[in-house]
Amino acid sequence: MRLLLISAFILCSSISVLAQNNTIAAGEKLTFSASYNMSGLLNELAQVTMETSEVKTSKSTLLKLKCTAATYKKWDSFFKIRDLYESYVNPKTLTPYLYNRDIDEGGYKKFMKYKFNHKTQIVSSLKRKTRKDGSTWEEKKSLKIGASTRDLVTTLYHIRNLDIHKASIGDSQNFKVLFDNNESIVTIKYLNKETINTALGKKECYKLAISINNSNVLKGNNDNLLWLTADANKIPVFAKFKIAVGSGELKIKSATGLKH
């Protein structure tokens, strides 16, 4: 799931960030098929789902951003994946307050939680790993972050609030992303508009290139690509990624509950 999310959804001049969230609403659900190139053949291995919901607390109403990935049953014996990523954010600005990551990938289990304090720019981090014998190891840290640093899930949704229609070909923008207790710079570059066939029909899209500084996750130059619909929803409908051990694709299967 880490590779799928980073590769699939991760412009400094004329692309500006909207101050308000005008794209994402509660009740949205996007479903994707994830394929991986194995021995020269592209195999559909898993389903990835991104969905939003409203969460009321004693003090406020938050927007929950939830991403899950699960291999299809026929692939579970080969490499079973059951991953959950979720963020609780301000619905108007998508500012994150709480982030959870709970992954099970081929028996490797890890849980992480971030609590954001934006006034002090401190994140309280909890990391927990489960050993093969069932015992757990836990680590707590206080992390100093930048004023604009977000978690991975929030960044994925934040990208859809960019004013991409104002960009010129070649424009790019950097984002600070906190992942595994480290801040990384994710760069998104606007390449051009392209019309592609999708499960939602033929869509005109913004074609973006993704790169991460000082990372071995994504490989190649303009080999990690994302297509967002060139409309008010900016739905991610297709993504291609290249990593150290191969390449893969994500394709939209369905989209419901869209704001526009």
Asked if 100 and 84 touch (Cβ cutoff 8 Å), the reply is: yes
What is the number of structural domains in the chain? 1
Q: Is 259 within the bounds of a domain?
A: no
Look at residue 94 in the predicted model and tell me its pLDDT.
95
Q: Is 201 within the bounds of a domain?
A: yes
Say which residue the tokens 């014996």 belong to. Answer: 77
- DSSP assignment of 50-90: EEEEEEE-SS-EEEEEEEEEEE-HHHHHHH-EEEEEEEEE-
Q: Is 260 within the bounds of a domain?
A: no
Q: Is 258 within the bounds of a domain?
A: no
Domain extent for 54: 2-253
AA letter at 101: R
AA letter at 228: L
The pTM (predicted TM-score) of the whole model is 0.90
Q: Is 168 within the bounds of a domain?
A: yes
Give the model confidence (pLDDT) of 108-164 as tens digits: 999 999 999 999 999 999 999 988 788 899 999 999 999 999 999 999 999 999 999
Q: Is 22 within the bounds of a domain?
A: yes
Grouping H, G, I as helix, E, B as strand and the rest as coil, residue 220 is coil
Low-confidence ranges of the chain (pLDDT < 70): 1-19, 214-222, 244-245
Look at residue 217 in the predicted model and tell me its pLDDT.
59
Q: Is 103 within the bounds of a domain?
A: yes
**Residue 257 neighbours by CB under 8 Å, 6+ apart:** 25, 26, 27, 28, 29, 52
